[in-house]
Amino acid sequence: MKNLLVYYDPDFTTTLEDIPIPEYGPDELLIQVIAAGSNPKDWKHPLPQFFNVKVNQGDDVAGVVSAVGSSVKNFKKGDRVAGMHVMDTPRGTYAEYTVCPQQSVFHIPESMSYEEAATIPLAMFTAAVGLYRNLRLPLPFERSDREIGTTKVPLIINGASSAVGAFALKLAKLNPSIGPIIATAGSGADFVRASGGADAIVDYKSPTIIGDLRKALGDKKLYHAFDASNSVQSVTYLTSVLDPTGRYTCTTSIADGLYGDGEQSRLLKNWGGWAEQIWVGSIHEEKLAGGKWFGGVMSRLMEYLLEEGLFTGHPYEIVQDGLDGVEAALIKLRDRKSGNEKFVTRIADTEGIDTE
């Protein structure tokens, strides 16, 4: 089968190779990839200063189950599914076949295209880990421990036009005990507004953003901030409105670590609250308490939300020439030329792949 390696040597590059169809373990599914979604980590993780790996970096898949491991439950050959591959390991989704653990795979309804489904997995799981494990906000069917009577729990989602930010907004809006939900956005404000999930939208480029956020909060205290962009600027204005006993979570790592000597770390330490980076890979890890369980619960919940029409994918752009076009798409992601859309690759568009 065709398999795409993503790496630096010394510059960013990709290589399309022919390898055997991958083997799968007892808790894994072999999936024929119809569509693969791209994420910023796909160009970041191969960097020498990150993980410096030479593997198939694709993690988002939508396709058809080809085979299941001996311990897999609730899936069978022929099922339409979407899922998340284990990051930075072989058998990724930029290929004709991929392998995913069962806890990060979910069925998709017949009404949903494979292309739309491929935009969901990694960004959705990232949003879920941030909201529910890190910020400890209530799941859609739970009530908040801060909710008393009609009092709601405010939430700020910074960078709400990104895929992760948009999915965090969609998930948070499902729970009536969370609100007001205040979204920050720049050029993507119209997209956020059209999604209808935010109670208020604030321009993060505004010189009065701290005052704008406080105005949107009214007389409510803020205990939860979800940062989908993570910069010195965002940490500055978010910690300016967060209660010192609150919780902050971000999608990308603080350059020197949360306890280093850089500006972001200094701001977070001076604020004094609880801060943690989102590690979406936790849904595949045994060592983190409840990690795999959390992934399985979110997958089952996602099946219900998709079937009921309560959750949808992200806007996307089809990558030209299938796997041969992934390198150019990832360079666009790196150079911030993708707008608010996710890149989705149709494997059948790759030259030399027989889809019969």
Residue 254 has pLDDT above 90, yes or no: no
Would you place residue 250 in the very low, low, confident or very high pLDDT band (cuts 50, 70, 90)? very high
The tens digit of pLDDT for each residue in 62-116 reads: 999 999 999 999 999 999 999 999 999 999 999 999 999 999 999 999 999 999 9
Residues in the chain: 356
Closest CA to 340 of 224, 228, 180, 176: 228
What is the predicted pLDDT for the residue at 74? 95
Beta bridge partners of 172: none
* Cα distances (Å, whole numbers) of residue 164 to 119, 120, 169, 260: 10, 9, 9, 26
Mean pLDDT rounded to a whole number for the chain: 93
What is the predicted pLDDT for the residue at 190? 95
Do 2-120+289-349 and 124-278 show the same overall fold?
no
| Residue 171, number of CB atoms within 10 A of its CB | 26
d(CA 63, CA 355): 13
Give the CATH fold of the 2-120+289-349 domain. Quinone Oxidoreductase; Chain A, domain 1 (3.90.180)
DSSP 209-236: HHHHHHHHHTT--EEEEEESS--HHHHH
Mean pLDDT of 224-246: 95
- What's the number of CA atoms in the CB half-sphere (13 Å) around residue 164? 28
What is the predicted pLDDT for the residue at 137? 96
User: 63-67, 291-295, 310-314 — which is least confidently predicted?
Assistant: 291-295
Alpha helices for 31-94 (secondary structure H)? 41-44
Give the residue extent of every domain in the chain. Answer: 2-120+289-349, 124-278
For the whole model, what pTM was predicted? 0.95
Please identify which residue in the block is written with the tokens 């889809």. Answer: 355
End-to-end CA distance of the chain: 14
Q: With H, G, I as helix, E, B as strand and everything else as coil, classify residue 194.
A: helix
Letter for the amino acid at 246? G
As a CATH number, domain 124-278 is 3.40.50.720
Q: With H, G, I as helix, E, B as strand and everything else as coil, classify residue 100.
A: strand
Residue 149 has pLDDT above 60, yes or no: no
d(CA 356, CA 346): 15
Letter for the amino acid at 20? P
Mean pLDDT of 268-278: 91
